[in-house]
Amino acid sequence: MIARIWGAIATEKGADAYRSHFEGSVVPSLRRVPGHRGAYLMERDNEGSVEIEVVTLWESMAAICAFAGPDVDTAVVEPAARAALTGFDDTVTHFTVVVDTVR
């Protein structure tokens, strides 16, 4: 399994808007992609802003390619997400999951 990790920054209001976007749009879209294995949306308050970290789980790089297109290291950030955020990473990081205790 491969973890695809991406980060962003938002105001508290923006973080709420991003969470709604993630649950209402991103998650349903991800569930339709063959090879998608789950996702985590994490937040951390940081002196007036909110750090956001998204981890999506995939069975293969081919599955990630079906979601992200041929440039798998470029972040997929929809306009609604961009509007909610004050900043975000343009790229993602991929890690191979070597131990999984969640399943």
Q: Are 36 and 58 in contact (CB under 8 A)?
A: yes
DSSP H helices in the chain: 12-21, 27-31, 61-68, 79-84
The residues of the chain scoring below 70 in pLDDT are none
What integer pLDDT is reported at residue 70 of this predicted model?
92
Q: In this predicted structure, what is the pLDDT of residue 24?
A: 96
DSSP-based three-state secondary structure for 80? helix
At 102 the pLDDT is 86
Q: Output the pTM of the full model.
A: 0.92
Please report the pLDDT score of residue 21 as a whole number.
Answer: 96
- 48 contacts: CB under 8 Å, gap ≥ 6: 11
Structure confidence at residue 68 (pLDDT): 93
- The amino acid present at 16, given as its one-letter code, is D
For residue 57, the model assigns a pLDDT of 97
Nearest to 15 by CA among 48, 57, 64: 48
pLDDT at 95: 98
